[in-house]
Chains A and B, each alone.
Chain A
């Protein structure tokens, strides 16, 4: 475990790390104020290099550059306070007050390119690899780098020349104009102090560089690097004179060359370079004038007086008003007349002296005059307040000048009907569809061809062809129609007239896409609505959510009941299935995505001919699916396509056709694609659909390659929040709906994430909304349907290693049973029971050998997957185990995987510490997971922050388990609590579980005696319980 930190010192980003245990002989004794003592948790050079390797950086870090540095850390007495509980315990607070003290650490200076690469890897991540945790400061620099990226994208920088000790350097310098200066200050406020706590050899006082300066220097060096590396194909090769210095014919060439050279050194005579620096200043001067002004010039377009006329009105006089706007308070606007008059009071409010304001105003108007001839004309007077425009001029201002003025840094205020997206008026097209005469909806498919007519409207009014021709004759770009200004252009009018003259046809699928805004009619006109009556109308309304779709009966063969919201979900799935449209069910974990899906499969099986459905899921949940299918849809034959013995080719095809559901894993989806692809599946369901969110991965490609009548994606993570992930899942569900990946990137991803375009976001939502259903357990309508406590079993597979260990333990026991009797027999049985449980938990638990953890236990894999989902939605969990050793393994592994501190309470924790752990978990920002041993944590504690409880292994005593569960389910708990009991399928865990469920008297016995009853069983029964069922092996 290593927590990576990064500090910025003298234009270098320095990487260092913390780790939990003190390095060997780490604490060196040094005198304070001479050499700082070594920080006990310093990760050291080897660990840093290892972490970079683990993070898979492409660069080769040069270990020789590693150096000792000083970092000032919060310190109590002699003890530095580590960054979090992941690293070490905080020294007690009462001991002494906290001050900053210098400590020595090992740091690796990142070259600019290395820093960019590493920071890009860290975006949005808590860990770079298992056990490599991204510290808050390192995470902060990723945000700062993104900020630098935005400056480069928006081209807010200029070439410059800076004087340094050893000469001049050419640099690309960010320009902190208006909004960016504010953003910089705002971002600086969020900088964690550790990011600027590195220091040089001066140990008299901690570094005092301000966060703003620190951030500004970082961003400046990042911008310089990004632009420089773009320009790296040097403008031209440097001519070489002598050995080292390139010789240039002019200092300007030297400067240009240095702007793209790796280190930016400008070669030349100092005196000449100083002159160049002065010239650069001179060149940049106009920018300085406007950047330092406390105000900016704004142009406000004002409409002509309102007049209501029945016919389209092109006339009217518009006015562009000149105003000054305070930069620090954009709501403060002052007409320029005030400045001409020198109205002192309001001008003082703008924060400048009159003469300076006058100078700025005139300079600004002068610049604007170059862009806009009307401004120039107005300046013929001594004190212009604005200028008039006719309608044509107003249209030109709206469509061209406004943008140019804005780009030049002026403020522009336009009427709201223009700026508000979608209210601009303009011609709109509607499609009117007459449903073909198909009596029931049964026969309809998306490919059904339908006829429709086009209608053209301006604003709310439908226009006839004659009216359109009148408009065309007016030849005005802006027309006031019934009191509202609308933009029309001749080309649109021509296209509309042409459209009215023809009839159109298309498939229902085309109509659906048109309704949802996915396509435009070929004319390029805006499509405002698809109006349809009959069944197509109903269909479209339901799809848009305007009308509730009808709830349908639970299929006959479905054993079990559905909660009301599950009936709605199942009906929704069936509705889309009927249309052959893909559906993404993204309900919160625990709301029953599985049963809703099974109900759909059952219904489809009953009604649409018996063809198999392919269900793809992570290996860890294969058994769960099989179990749930047996329970809820007992009449559906299920085939698990997994493991070494799985069938292939025609044999597989034949086998698949005999089953209703074929369950397989993502791993096999790619490996066996050839076999899976050959079948015409009734449906394909992908569970944990986040597995295909990256469209480049093999499993995502494979999923898209399958042929099926309907497709369903299940996920518990909020996919709709991540625009980038949405495309792959949607393209699996409804191929082509969101366009190609490149199109999607251009029309949705970049506008939404970079330009924060609300219209694109709304369009995407409209386009995907009908195919996405996500209910949260906190939704009011859902809460009413949910019990306060829900218990469910989670069936996990064994890995191959677990299975062979398991078999070996059982063989040992069988030998013993034949010879032993009495106490020895009892002891052997109980010992074996315990060993088998350990094997089910984790091989390392059973072996007790501190061996590696990842990938060796089915249960742990499943727990990790579920915790990931839980943390993503911000829930908290308790994990109970009856073994303290397992608890330790869990704590360590979960910490390493998620990079977050995980609490662990076991028998050896002293009382006062327990209270602290509980208090910490209950805090608003406490750790997300609390691991407890059943004995130590089963009673007395109040842990109502948790709304998820896991029983990692079983005690089979409901009373004990319930007591533990009730830690979360107590007074003060306001949410539903979900309890997940982990069971390894095919092992004694499952068999004992089944026995207890079957035999009531046994259940009572269990409550009385714990696990002692097992010893009373016959050898044969014991053997039956302990022996592994064939299916148990997951072959993970």
Chain B
């Protein structure tokens, strides 16, 4: 087919992909993908492979939402990409994982500076983490062709093809949000890594304490739940006594910067909404604040 295509048109003409609704759309609308240095490092690896115009098409695929699904496991990214054919293509990107012994050596190196663990725990990639890797003769980012194994079910002879590139870019963007994904690809889950490095640290600190292996569940952000509580039957207590109550709580000020909580958490993983996630939230948070303040003040609303 490729052969005939080539000859019939006399030159190579890229086929138009079928339009997809609700695919994963890159958050960066133009310019370079990825903001963080570690995501840039990831993308730099792809761009070093010299696949020419496929890079640009991959970018466009990523921005237009041709990638329908991405899943990341230890050492493997699988994705579904809608190309020009009815049947979407399957993409796989394999990354070489590190051995247990490698990880142990690495943990020792990371324990020497608090910044590594601190940054990682805060959801950021320590700037010079590569140095720590290099000090034990390893590399966090795949940098050789051999570190990556890419495959696509599309008929393009080039590997990586534009579909692989599109997935690659989107994953890069995802690294912005969660650097742990890189470790996951290298074979280490977030919890394991945290346990490894903080265990390393506390052993060095001499406490030898138990290592937490599980992050707290999200529900515990709720106020402490409480068990059943019986109703008072004494009439005056039951009906309540007249008194003015203050709602208590913190001093009420409208924050200068809106949507601080969602901002702290960052963009949503693989966002596929029409509008930007944080942008939409920010508008709502900013508009809701004065209404909340008015309710708090018991204001009927006249200005």
Q: Are A74 and B289 in contact (CB under 8 A)?
A: no
Q: Are A382 and B114 in contact (CB under 8 A)?
A: yes
CB proximity of A855 to chain B, nearest CB, Å: 25
Q: Are A84 and B239 in contact (CB under 8 A)?
A: yes
**Neighbouring B residues of A207 by C-beta, 8 Å:** 231
**Neighbouring A residues of B296 by C-beta, 8 Å:** 146-147, 149-150, 153, 754
B31 within 8 A of A: no
- Knowing A283-B268, A359-B121, say if A384 contacts B231 (CB, 8 Å): no
A408 within 8 A of B: yes
Q: How many angstroms from the CA of A208 to the CA of B227 in the assembled complex?
A: 9
Segment at the interface with B among A340-348, A441-449, A524-532? A340-348
Residue of B209, B211, B215, B224 touching A289 (CB-CB under 8 A): B215
| CB contact list, B217-239 vs A, under 8 A | 217-218, 220-235, 237-239
A291 within 8 A of B: yes
A561 within 8 A of B: no
A152 within 8 A of B: yes
Residue of B115, B216, B289 touching A376 (CB-CB under 8 A): B115
B104 within 8 A of A: no
Q: Are A210 and B226 in contact (CB under 8 A)?
A: yes
Q: Are B288 and A230 in contact (CB under 8 A)?
A: yes
| Count of A-B residue pairs with CB < 8 Å | 356
**Neighbouring A residues of B205 by C-beta, 8 Å:** 340-342, 358, 383
Q: Are B221 and A149 in contact (CB under 8 A)?
A: no
B183 within 8 A of A: no
Residue of B212, B250, B265, B288 touching A359 (CB-CB under 8 A): B212
A609 within 8 A of B: no
B100 within 8 A of A: no
**Neighbouring B residues of A194 by C-beta, 8 Å:** 238-240
A263 within 8 A of B: no
Q: Are A152 and B123 in contact (CB under 8 A)?
A: no
Interface size on A, residues (CB 8 A): 131
Q: How many angstroms from the CA of A282 to the CA of B269 in the assembled complex?
A: 9
Q: Are B288 and A231 in contact (CB under 8 A)?
A: yes
B273 within 8 A of A: yes
Q: Are A366 and B202 in contact (CB under 8 A)?
A: no
B29 within 8 A of A: no
Q: Are B275 and A256 in contact (CB under 8 A)?
A: yes
- Knowing A72-B231, A236-B275, A358-B198, say if A143 contacts B246 (CB, 8 Å): yes
Residue of A184, A210, A282, A287 touching B264 (CB-CB under 8 A): A287
A555 within 8 A of B: no
Q: Are B215 and A206 in contact (CB under 8 A)?
A: no
**Neighbouring A residues of B265 by C-beta, 8 Å:** 158, 283-284, 286-287
Residue of A72, A135, A251, A382 touching B113 (CB-CB under 8 A): A382
Q: Are B241 and A925 in contact (CB under 8 A)?
A: yes
Q: How many angstroms from the CA of A628 to the CA of B296 in the assembled complex?
A: 45
**Neighbouring B residues of A147 by C-beta, 8 Å:** 247-249, 296
**Neighbouring B residues of A252 by C-beta, 8 Å:** 268, 271-273, 277
A605 within 8 A of B: no
**Neighbouring A residues of B230 by C-beta, 8 Å:** 206, 208
Q: How many angstroms from the CA of A152 to the CA of B201 in the assembled complex?
A: 40
Residue of A81, A99, A124, A180 touching B250 (CB-CB under 8 A): A180
Q: Are A123 and B298 in contact (CB under 8 A)?
A: yes
**Neighbouring B residues of A408 by C-beta, 8 Å:** 260, 264
**Neighbouring A residues of B114 by C-beta, 8 Å:** 362, 365, 379-384
In the complex, the chain B residue whose C-beta lies closest to that of A126 is B242
A157 within 8 A of B: yes
- Knowing A149-B295, A210-B229, A407-B260, say if A369 contacts B118 (CB, 8 Å): yes
**Neighbouring A residues of B117 by C-beta, 8 Å:** 362, 366
Q: Are A153 and B292 in contact (CB under 8 A)?
A: yes
A801 within 8 A of B: no
Q: Are A74 and B235 in contact (CB under 8 A)?
A: yes
Residue of A176, A289, A356 touching B223 (CB-CB under 8 A): A176
Q: How many angstroms from the CA of A900 to the CA of B241 in the assembled complex?
A: 12
B45 within 8 A of A: no
Q: How many angstroms from the CA of A364 to the CA of B275 in the assembled complex?
A: 31
Q: Are A362 and B118 in contact (CB under 8 A)?
A: yes
Q: Are B209 and A342 in contact (CB under 8 A)?
A: yes
- Knowing A250-B273, A285-B215, A754-B252, say if A209 contacts B229 (CB, 8 Å): yes
**Neighbouring B residues of A288 by C-beta, 8 Å:** 215-218, 220-221
Q: Are B231 and A100 in contact (CB under 8 A)?
A: yes
Contact bitstring B191-207, A, C-beta under 8 A = 1, else 0: 00010001101101111
**Neighbouring B residues of A353 by C-beta, 8 Å:** 209-210, 212
Q: How many angstroms from the CA of A236 to the CA of B295 in the assembled complex?
A: 27
A823 within 8 A of B: no
CB proximity of A89 to chain B, nearest CB, Å: 12
CB proximity of B85 to chain A, nearest CB, Å: 20
**Neighbouring A residues of B121 by C-beta, 8 Å:** 359, 362-363, 366
Residue of A124, A196, A279 touching B231 (CB-CB under 8 A): A196
CB proximity of B161 to chain A, nearest CB, Å: 25
Q: How many angstroms from the CA of A184 to the CA of B247 in the assembled complex?
A: 9
In the complex, the chain A residue whose C-beta lies closest to that of B177 is A283
CB proximity of B184 to chain A, nearest CB, Å: 12
In the complex, the chain B residue whose C-beta lies closest to that of A365 is B118
**Neighbouring B residues of A653 by C-beta, 8 Å:** none
- Knowing A183-B249, A283-B265, A379-B113, say if A292 contacts B292 (CB, 8 Å): no
B78 within 8 A of A: no
B87 within 8 A of A: no
A876 within 8 A of B: no
Q: Are A143 and B216 in contact (CB under 8 A)?
A: no
Segment at the interface with B among A185-193, A412-420, A636-644, A1013-1021? A185-193
Q: Are A355 and B207 in contact (CB under 8 A)?
A: yes
CB proximity of B64 to chain A, nearest CB, Å: 13
A14 within 8 A of B: no
In the complex, the chain B residue whose C-beta lies closest to that of A255 is B273
In the complex, the chain B residue whose C-beta lies closest to that of A193 is B231
Q: How many angstroms from the CA of A149 to the CA of B215 in the assembled complex?
A: 31
Contact bitstring B248-280, A, C-beta under 8 A = 1, else 0: 111111110111111011101111111101001
A939 within 8 A of B: no
B44 within 8 A of A: no
Contact bitstring A156-178, B, C-beta under 8 A = 1, else 0: 11110000000000000001110
B77 within 8 A of A: no
Q: How many angstroms from the CA of A802 to the CA of B190 in the assembled complex?
A: 85
Q: Which of B225, B248, B261, B272 has the most CB of A within 10 A?
A: B248
Q: Are B22 and A250 in contact (CB under 8 A)?
A: yes
In the complex, the chain B residue whose C-beta lies closest to that of A119 is B295
Residue of B122, B253, B270, B271 touching A755 (CB-CB under 8 A): B253
Residue of B123, B251, B262, B270 touching A158 (CB-CB under 8 A): B262
Contact bitstring A245-256, B, C-beta under 8 A = 1, else 0: 000111111011
- Knowing A72-B231, A369-B115, A379-B113, say if A754 contacts B238 (CB, 8 Å): no
Q: Are A116 and B233 in contact (CB under 8 A)?
A: no
A646 within 8 A of B: no
Q: Are B248 and A208 in contact (CB under 8 A)?
A: no
- Can you list 20 A-B pairs, Cβ within 8 angstroms, ordered by A? A120-B300, A135-B239, A140-B240, A143-B247, A150-B296, A152-B288, A155-B255, A175-B221, A184-B223, A208-B229, A211-B229, A213-B226, A226-B291, A251-B22, A341-B206, A353-B209, A353-B212, A366-B115, A369-B118, A369-B119
A-B interface, 8 closest residue pairs, ranked by CB to CB distance from nearest: A192-B240, A366-B122, A152-B292, A149-B295, A342-B207, A136-B240, A249-B22, A363-B121
List residues of chain B with CB under 8 Å of any chain A CB: 21-23, 111-115, 117-124, 194, 198-199, 201-202, 204-207, 209-212, 215-218, 220-235, 237-242, 244-255, 257-262, 264-266, 268-275, 277, 280-281, 284-285, 287-298, 300, 302-303
List residues of chain A with CB under 8 Å of any chain B CB: 72-74, 81, 83-84, 90, 98-100, 116, 120-121, 123-124, 126, 135-137, 140, 142-159, 175-177, 179-181, 183-187, 190, 192-197, 206-213, 216, 226-227, 230-231, 235-236, 248-253, 255-256, 259-260, 279, 281-289, 291-292, 340-342, 344, 353-356, 358-359, 362-367, 369-370, 376, 379-384, 407-408, 696, 742, 749-750, 753-757, 900, 925
